[in-house]
Every structure is written in C-alpha cells, then in structure tokens.
A = this chain, B = another copy of it.
Amino acid sequence: MDVTEDSVPVVETTTPQANGDGKFLNHNGIVQPLLTDLYQITMAYAYWKSGRIKDVAVFDLFFRQNPFQGEFTIFAGLDECLKFLQNFHYSDSDINYLRHTLPPSIEEEFFVFLRKLNAHDVTVYAIEEGSVTFPRVPLMRVEGPLIIVQILETTLLTLVNYASLMATNAARYRLAAGKKVRLLEFGLRRAQGPDGGLSASKYSYIGGFDGTSNVLAGKMFNIPVKGTHAHAYISSFSNFSDLQSKQMLMDKNTGKERDMLELAMQWREPLSELLDIMPDEASEGELTALISFAIAFPEGFIALVDTYDVKRSGLLNFCAVAMALNDLGYRAIGIRIDSGDLAYLSNKAREVFNKVAEKYNLPWFSTLQIMASNDINEETILSLNEQNHQIDCFAIGTHLVTCQRQPALGCVYKLVEINGTPRIKLSQDVVKVTMPGRKNAYRLYGADGHALIDLLQKSEECPPEVGVRVLCRHPFQESKRAYVIPTRVEPLYKEYWSKGEIRAHLPNLNEIRLRVQNSLQTIRQDIKRNLNPTPYKVSNIKTFS
C-alpha cells in the first residue's frame, strides 16, 4: 500500500540536518573517530615520535574492480565522509580509553596532540556523489598532514565501501527492471546489523529504488515508506467472527455506513462464476482478513493473496473485497504475491483483473498493481522479463541489501605522494600497482554524448581540451592505446573540503538519486549490460598530437 505516495512531499527533505554548532551530523552516532583500526593510532604515534608531524601526504581512495561482474560502480557515501570530517575530534573519554589501551610507554604529550587533532588542515577532492565511476580512478583524493590523513583511512573506507556497493547493486536492479516498474527495498530483517539495514535503505534509494519498508529510514531521510501486511495477518483470522462485528465502512457516495462483509459476500458469487473459481475453496479466514484490512485502509488497499492459494482463494477474495470497496466509492490499489511462479501468477492475476474490468466496465481494474516479493535478485528480474511478467512492483530484500553476489567492495586508500614526492606501491600483482603522485581525472565525451574514456594525469599537467586529439594508453598494457578527440571534457574532481569547511553544495538524497540516473545515461549500453559487459576505458598516459 502506497501509504505515503500522496501524503509525504518528497522535496528537499534529505538536506542534512545541522546540529546546534551549525555542523552536520552523521546518520549514525557510532560514526566517530574511534570507529577505526587501531593501527591508525599506533602509526600516528610512531609518526609523531619520529618527528614527522609536519610531513604532508596525498592518499587516493579507489577500487580495483567493479562489483557483481559488472563494468561500472556508483560512487556513494561522500556526504557521510564530509560530515565525519566536520565533526572529527577525539573526546576526553576517547583519549582516556586510548591512554589505558596503548602501552604505558606512550608519551603523555601525544595524547595532548590527539585531543587537539581535527581535520581542518585536510583537503578533499572527490567525484560527485552518485556518479558512475570506474576502477583505478580515485573517488577521493585526500591531502594534508600525514598523520591526520592516515588516521582517516578506515572510517572513510567504511563509509564509502558499502554505500557504493549498495548504490551500485540498486542501480543494477533498476537497469534490469526498466524504468516503468517500481522497486521497493524490503531488506531490513536480513541486513547486516541495524545500520546495514538503514544504509541499505538510503543507498538503494539513491541507486534508483522508489521506496523502502524501513520506517526509520523514512523518518531520517524522508524516503517514501511502503508496506501492507504479512502472512501472519492473514492467518490470524479464521472466520467471519474474528471481525468482532467491526465490518462497517462509510460509503463515500452517500456518507452512510455499509456492511463490507455483506457486500463482499454478495460479490463472491458472481465473481466465482466469472472467474471459474469454487467459492468453497476460497479461505474464509483470508476473506475476513482482507475485509478488515480494507476497512482500515479503504484508500490504500493492497492484499497479500498467496497465504493459501493465489488462483483458488486469494484472487477471488481480493476481487470480492475490491468490488465491495468500489461500491462504496473506493479504488483498491492491487495485490502482492510472495511465493510461487511469479511470471505465471502475475499473468493469471492480470487475466482475472481484465475479465472483471470488462464484465463490469471498470477499466481501472485492468491496471491494478501487481507486486512481487519472493527472494528476488537481478537474475530473477531478467528471467521474469523474458517470461513477459505482469508485475508492476518488485519488493526486494535479502539479495539487494546483503549484495549476495559480492558482499564487499574492495575500496583501498593508498599513499601516492609524500612531501611532494610521488610514492608507488610495488606489487608482484600488476593490478595492485598504484599510480604514483597527485592526479586529476577527466571524463572525455564523444559527439553522441556518451563517455569515451576517463583520463588520469598528473595534477600539474594541462587538462585535455575539446577538439584536440589525445593519445590514451592502457595503464598497464603498453600496447593498448586509442586516439580520442573529445567533444566535451568533464573534470571529475571538485574540492569538497578544505580549511575546515565543506566547500561545495551538498546535494540532498533526491538530487544524488537523479545524478545516478543522469550519469548512467552517459554510459554506453554495452558497458551497463548484465551479460558480458564491455569494459569502460581508463587511461593514465596521454599524449597530445
């Protein structure tokens, strides 16, 4: 039932809430400086002890491989990172814990240093949240005093990794389902912890979902919340006596109360004939439950129809109640199917709705919503598409929120420059070699509006120019090269944080959500497809010619 479709205005409400100091807060109170690996603090001490408090460093935050065997990734979590930077400081209780946890040989002055530490000298350049991104192109470039930029590593990774994984997963479901189908996130109960659930709701909305079942996510982020009833609701009713005589509903046409049980029972007979369903086979408990739910939500009646048997009970009972509601001037919304062959059952349901629509000349009955919700993943949707399903809305839980196909994104945070000198992490594994130095990134577009390549170059180099031919080489395979003449050049980085302040507009959730869809539109279809997608090109060597 779309209980919020009309009642909640979805505008501007995800703008971050500022606290009393004018600072923005992370959505979860446990996002704090100690939410980090201990080695960040031990390294900080060793740097401090070595006298390296004035050293400055540049770190790149990036991933090496797209998730889900795909060829793109949606960047998310930046907003939370910036709020974390804004609030970064160790409390007295943090310092006290560290003092008792680190070895007694730690000099007291280090704790004084930590107590005063903040992120004001850090500068963060980042790609816009909600953008499509690709392997090895840093999502964020974090610069500043070595000690603090090192300390930020774990928390920034925690805030970006799952957020981006989740937004990417959601965007893939959206691509699979197409634009017309509604997608709802129903995963809270199976999520990895309470915040796994809350983050899943937030970032699946960003990725292209239309709503969530998670009420707290609705309250905190103003995401539309949706929900109907569970099998337990249906099976808690045995027979008409469970209505306890509460079976009256106001007729919108006359303003008088009418008996919904009586009306529904009147409709059961002609409908059972029309639909060729034996009324005796339909469950009385189910009919009772649906009547009670319709009385509670006459304007938002969606019925779960598979508790007993969709074809022999659920559809007949739903239609009887929907027609009774119609008598009183209300239009039912639709049904939910939570088990069985969803392609077949959705077609069966549509057939039933069409018959009723035709027989009683109620065209809207043909367009009743069919929601499906049983263990759905990206592949299920693609398979249902091939079977010409009649589903209007998917409610998706476990596979969406836990990203079952790949439950972690491998973002890393690598030192690329120290005191102006580029650093390289060597590795026997060539894909693990990092690109040294402070870099900028540009996305080059072709004449048809599609992105052609992402170009990484040293930050002191001149940016590529529109209409000027660029020779782009593969970062690790010298032989792979391509000439590109960009029609448009997009600098990917903006300065988001410097001198202790957020420097760019922080978009709200709906703006980020729109950015995802717009950004995806600039990517060629073959890069986005589910099966054997084409890799997008990223180059770190260019020659103008």
Contact = CB atoms under 8 A, between A and B. Distances in A.
B236 A193 contact: no
Interface stretch (A46-54, A382-390, A470-478, A516-524): A46-54
Contacts of A300: 103
A191 interface: yes
Interface of A: 1, 3-4, 7-8, 27-32, 34-43, 45-47, 49-52, 55, 57, 59, 93-94, 97-98, 100-105, 146, 150, 153-154, 157-159, 161-163, 186, 188-200, 213-216, 218-219, 225-233, 235-236, 238, 242-246, 292-293, 295-300, 307-308, 339-340, 398, 402-404, 407-411, 413-415, 418, 421, 423, 425-429
Given A28-B30, A192-B199, A244-B51, A236 B41 contact: no
A231 B8 contact: no
B35 A197 contact: yes
B402 A407 contact: yes
Contact of A194 (B28, B200, B244): B28
A191 B162 contact: yes
A87 to B, nearest CB: 13
A299 B105 contact: yes
Nearest to A150: B232
Number of copies: 2
Contacts of A154: 188-189
Given A103-B300, A242-B50, A408 B402 contact: yes
27 contacts: A3-B38, A7-B104, A34-B215, A35-B194, A38-B225, A38-B226, A55-B236, A97-B219, A103-B299, A105-B297, A153-B189, A153-B232, A158-B191, A161-B189, A189-B411, A191-B192, A192-B200, A193-B195, A193-B198, A193-B199, A231-B425, A232-B413, A235-B423, A236-B418, A339-B427, A398-B408, A407-B407
Centre residue among A46, A93, A425 by max chain B CB count within 10 A: A46
A236 to B, nearest CB: 5
A177 B197 CA distance: 31
A214 B37 contact: yes
Contacts of A307: 425
A81 B212 CA distance: 23
